[in-house]
Structure formats: C-alpha cells, structure tokens
Structure 1
Amino acid sequence: MKSVSFRNDDMAWDIAALILTPPDFDETKTYPTIVAVHPFGSCKEQTSSAIYGKALAEQGFVVIAFDASYQGESGGSPRWVESPAQRVEDVSHVIDYAVTLPYVDADRIGGIGICGGGGYVLNAALTEKRIKAVVGITPVNIGLLFREGFSNFDPRGALDAMAAQRTGEARGKDAQVNELLPLSPEMARENGLTERDVFEATEYYKTPRGHQPGGATRMLFSHAQKTLAWDGFNFAETLMTQPMMVVVGQKIGAFGAYRDGLEIHGRSTSSKERHLVSLEDWSHYDLYDKDEPVGLALEQMVPFLKEHLS
C-alpha cells in the first residue's frame, strides 16, 4: 500500500489517497483499477481501503481509496464540509490521476462506494463514463437522509438555521461543527440512542473496531445547505448505462440504505446489466467490516467486477 497526494489543473487543493496493488505487482503491466469511495463521516483508512480495497487488491485489482475534499488528509477549507457535488467531482479527479499511472488500464476502471460513498459513486457513474462498472455497498442517498432524519424531518427549518449560522460566521461568530454520533456506545445507551444505525455507527466509529483519526464524523453545519437539495439518483432511468451492482443488508436502519439500494436498482432501467444482492440477517454496519457479510458481498462483487473489467 502506497500513500500519495495529487492535484489536477482545475483543483485548488491536494487529494490524499492510498494505492493498493495486487500480489506480485509489476509496474510494467497494466491492471483493472477500482476507485473506492469512503462513507459519509469516514476516511480512506477505514472500510474503503482496509476491507474492500484490500480484498479487491488481493483479487488482482489496483485500488485507489481517497479522502474526500475538506476531509481526512485531503485539502480544502473550511474543514468537515460534506458537499455532494464536490464528493462526486472528487471521483473524476481521482480518475484523472489514475489514468496518468502507467500501470492503470484506462479502459478498465470501476468504482465502488460504501454508505454515502455508495450513493456518490453511483451518482458519479451517471455522467462519468470512464467508470465501466459500479458497485454501491449499502448505498445511502445523502440528500434524502438530510431531508429526513438529519434535519428532524424539517428541511426548511434546517435551511433557515443554516442560513442564520452562516451569516453569523461571516460576521465573526464561531463555526458550528456538529458531532454526528454519540461519543461512545455507553453514552448512546445512556441517552436512549439505540436505533440500529445510530448505535451500530457508534460501535464502529467510536471504538477501536473502526476508529481512525481522519474519520471525524463531524459536519460543518453552515455549509450543508446544498446537501438538502441534492438527490443522488436523479436521471438514473436514462443515464445509468454501465453494469451496476447494489449490495444491501435486510436489517433495516434509520439511515435508509436498504430503501435507497432498492430504489437505485429499480430505477436504473437503462443499465446494461444490474444486480441486487440482498443479504438476510445483516445490517448496514455489518457490511463495513464483519467477515461473513463482507465475504458474501465479495462473492458477488469480485466475479461481477472481473467480468466487466476484463
């Protein structure tokens, strides 16, 4: 695994990434390559590289797992901005970098993403046709989540509060950086925050199981307005032309991945080939790192990606 950073001509900051390579990697050869997109509130060192990136590299793929702009080790200011438009554009920036590498086959590039990253990579594939096959793993349509649970089902009220906060910050007020999760599973229990996705996210991000310094689980409140007006699946009926796969767990939680995965699969009628992998007895966060559900996902993903990036 190699750490890199790069900046394209139309970027104002560097993107930080990890490049994972297959066993017996030979720089004089070319390889099918996967761009791996991390979840909302996550970073490249977590599931996108450590779990799925590592497994796909072992299967013969080059994998580029990167930190989103404004997050992790990537540049961009202010920090902890969750910008769907930028997150999707980051995918294209990573592909711009990938195609300059002599060992990347520019005609065999795929994309995977987990959670919010799944929604982003599926959205990127609608217009980024250098992606030849795409997999959304427990994908979340972040715009819908913000309009619902993350705004307490009051998106207009949230927008008014964001507007007031941004005006205050422009006039010198301290930034409002929201912590998205309880600080520990114990705190979650004490405060009755035991809904499946909230609690399991806390178990992942706030314990040694998944914690990484770059996975801040924070959001700059004043810069989240445009997220509420974003929809990751717009125009999927006509623009999702590539082969696609969606992996979901049937244990449903508040972040909506099961619903969102079924929606994008159902709407992508223009896709050359589409697959829905629905795993009984597993949840959203089980698919981040637990051996059995991840193994079941990879049993479907690896042949799919090999077939379409051959």
Structure 2
Amino acid sequence: MNNKKVTFRNADMAWDMSALILFPQGFDKSKRYPTMISVHPFGSCKEQTSSAVYGKALAELGYVVIAFDASFQGESGGVPRYVEDPSQRVEDISRAIDYAVNLPYVDQDRIGALGICGGGAYVFSAALTEKRLKAVVGITPVNLGRLFREGFSEYNPIGALESMAAQRTAEAQGAELQVNELLPPSVEFARENGLTDRDVCEATDYYKTARGQSEGGATRMLFSHAQKTLSWDAFAFAETLMTQPVMAVVGRKVGAFGAYRDGQEIYGKSVASKDRQLVELQDWSHYDLYDHPEAVRIAMDSIEPFLNKHL
C-alpha cells in the first residue's frame, strides 16, 4: 500500500504535526477522493493501529487516509512531551481537516473520521462542532474523561486533582517532570502483581511486545498536565449536536476501560444523528479490535457499507 509521511503546521500552537497519508490502489492525483482522518488511541501513535490496521483497510476500500500523531506525542511537535489534553486532541482533528481540504485529490465534501479507543471518543467529540466531518466511526471508543474520573483516579478524582496541582507547582518551581508509565512492563509482571483485568493485560500484550510496540507509541503521561482531562466529557451535548451519521463498534468481552459502556452511551445520546449504529461483536474484546484479523474484518464488514452510504 502506498503511503507518504508529511508534516503540516498546527498554526494556533506554532508547531508541526506529523502524519502518514495512505493512498488507495491505483491512486490518480488528478482525481478527488473521499478521505478519512484516522485518530490513534491514548498512548499510541500513527504507526500503530490507526494506520497499519484501520488506515490500511480504509485505503483498500478506496479512501485517502490521513493518520497523524497527536500534539505532544509521537513525531508531532509540542512541549512538554506526553501531554494528553482532550481539547487539544479534538483540535488536532480540525487541523488535520484543514490540511486535507488543501490537498487537490481530497474531496472536501466527503471527509469522515475513524478513531480507536480514546481516539474514537475524540472523533465523536470533534463531530459535535466540526461539521466538515460527514460521518464518524469509533472503534471500541473510550470516553477518557469518564475513565480518568473513575478507574484511572481510583475513583477519587478530587484527590487526583489535588495531587496534580501539587506536582505542577513543584515542577513550576524547578522539580523534575513526573511522567507516569501507564502499563506494566509485561503481561507476566501484571499477573504476578494481581493486575488481571482483561484490558490491562491485553493492552500490555499489545503495547509492550512485538505485536504492536512502536517507538512513537509511548504509554506515558505527564501527570501534572492531566487536570483538564478529569473535567472533560466526550459526549457532552451529543443529544443536540451529533447530527452526522455515527457508528460505534464495541466488543462484548468487556474490561476495565469501559469501551462497551461508552459505545452504548454515545449511541443512546445521538438521537439527532441522521444514522446512528451500534455494532456489538459477541466474541471479541477491546484489544482484539486493535489488530486481530478476524475482529477487524467483522468490524470492517459493517464500516464499509456505512461509509459508502454517507461518503
């Protein structure tokens, strides 16, 4: 599959974004193509599932695909590093669209977006106000704000915010940045230490082994700059503002990260959508949907007609 690495300017923040453009077979630069923005998960990068799995599958269906690294992450600019800022992640999607509409082979009236895990929720959040997106798909979408308020803060969001505040003050006064590793070093380590949840173990298997490991996919987060995540909700105002066709694809083998629950929520709230679909895969889990060939094939069997209809 043909692809090209590019950079484009994040003008508001004065740094460059790094992206891969994937082209369909027989690409003709004189033609205009429907285009998909592909958004990577929390703690991931463009070289992982957003391009290598779903980007590839979408390009094979005839779409131009733009898979980019989030600001502060991967090969994109922004300092300090490892910041996960939901508002910035959503704005990154608009910046990718700004870049796409200036490409002569992109049909600006047929732009959609697909995101995986946290990227899926960011895509949904972007679509609430970004009406250049004509259809959106979330693969095992996770509302990161909800997850931070619950499991990631050990159900103590105020305590987490107070700790973040103290750490940010310390760093402003010269202390070393606190960068938290989000996953155990290995599946064996996780199990030996009682970390037996399906999502934790499967995430570790994906990100910490040759299966999905990538240099840019740092499963780290700058603790002191994560405060705004706890007050963010990917699905706020979806009842009114989600007017585009929307699809959530979830596995029914559930884990602690809550994608099954979040997929149901965005489906339930998208009452103003022109076409809302919830695709439940009975025998598959969150991380199966990252790269398991059969799970991805089943997901794409629903995604293909959905996008063909709306793009």
State the TM bucket, normalised to the shorter chain.
over 0.9
Q: Distance in 1 between matches of 2:98 and 2:50?
A: 19
Equivalent in the alignment of 2:75 = 73
Equivalent in the alignment of 1:190 = 192
Matched, 1:266 2:268: yes
Q: Distance in 1 between matches of 2:139 and 2:26?
A: 28
Return the offset for 1:11: 3.3
**1:35–1:111 contact (8 Å) kept in structure 2:** yes
For 1:276, give the aligned amino acid: L
Equivalent in the alignment of 1:295 = 297
For 2:144, give the aligned amino acid: I
SS at match of 2:296: helix
Return the offset for 1:216: 0.3
Equivalent in the alignment of 2:108 = 106
Stretches of structure 2 that go unaligned for 5 or more consecutive residues are: none
**1:8–1:96 contact (8 Å) kept in structure 2:** no
**2:148–2:230 contact (8 Å) kept in structure 1:** yes
SS at match of 1:197: helix
Q: Distance in 2 between matches of 1:287 and 1:10?
A: 34
Return the offset for 1:294: 0.6
**1:8–1:97 contact (8 Å) kept in structure 2:** no
For 1:82, give the aligned amino acid: E
Q: Distance in 2 between matches of 1:115 and 1:39?
A: 5
Matched, 1:134 2:133: no
For 1:50, give the aligned amino acid: A
Equivalent in the alignment of 2:232 = 230
Equivalent in the alignment of 1:208 = 210
Deviations 1:237-277, CA, capped at 9 Å, x for gaps: 00000011110000111001000000000000000011110
Return the offset for 1:176: 0.6
Q: Distance in 1 between matches of 2:185 and 2:77?
A: 26
Return the offset for 1:8: 4.3
Q: Distance in 1 between matches of 2:86 and 2:181?
A: 19
For 1:188, give the aligned amino acid: A
For 1:163, give the aligned amino acid: A
- Deviates further, 239-248 or 2-11: 2-11
Return the offset for 1:308: 0.4
Matched, 1:35 2:48: no
For 1:226, give the aligned amino acid: K
Equivalent in the alignment of 1:255 = 257
Q: Distance in 2 between matches of 1:100 and 1:123?
A: 23
Equivalent in the alignment of 2:124 = 122
For 2:20, give the aligned amino acid: L
Q: Distance in 1 between matches of 2:41 and 2:153?
A: 19
Q: Distance in 1 between matches of 2:118 and 2:162?
A: 24
Return the offset for 1:306: 1.2
Return the offset for 1:188: 1.1
Q: Report the number of matched residues.
A: 309
Q: Distance in 2 between matches of 1:28 and 1:11?
A: 32
Q: Report matched runs for 1:140-155 at 5 Å.
A: 140-155=142-157
**1:107–1:130 contact (8 Å) kept in structure 2:** yes
Return the offset for 1:116: 0.1
Q: Distance in 2 between matches of 1:148 and 1:9?
A: 34
Percent identity (aligned): 72
TM-score (norm 2): 0.99
For 2:167, give the aligned amino acid: Q
Q: Distance in 1 between matches of 2:162 and 2:211?
A: 37
Q: Distance in 1 between matches of 2:293 and 2:6?
A: 28
Equivalent in the alignment of 1:218 = 220
SS at match of 1:79: coil
Matched, 1:86 2:88: yes
Q: Distance in 2 between matches of 1:228 and 1:275?
A: 28
For 1:291, give the aligned amino acid: P
RMSD: 0.6
Equivalent in the alignment of 1:16 = 18
For 1:180, give the aligned amino acid: L
Stretches of structure 1 that go unaligned for 5 or more consecutive residues are: none
SS at match of 1:214: coil
Deviations 1:93-113, CA, capped at 9 Å, x for gaps: 000000000000000000000
Return the offset for 1:223: 0.1
Q: Report matched runs for 1:279-290 at 5 Å.
A: 279-290=281-292
Return the offset for 1:280: 0.1
**2:10–2:17 contact (8 Å) kept in structure 1:** no
The runs of at least 4 consecutive aligned structure 1 residues that moved more than 4 Å come to none
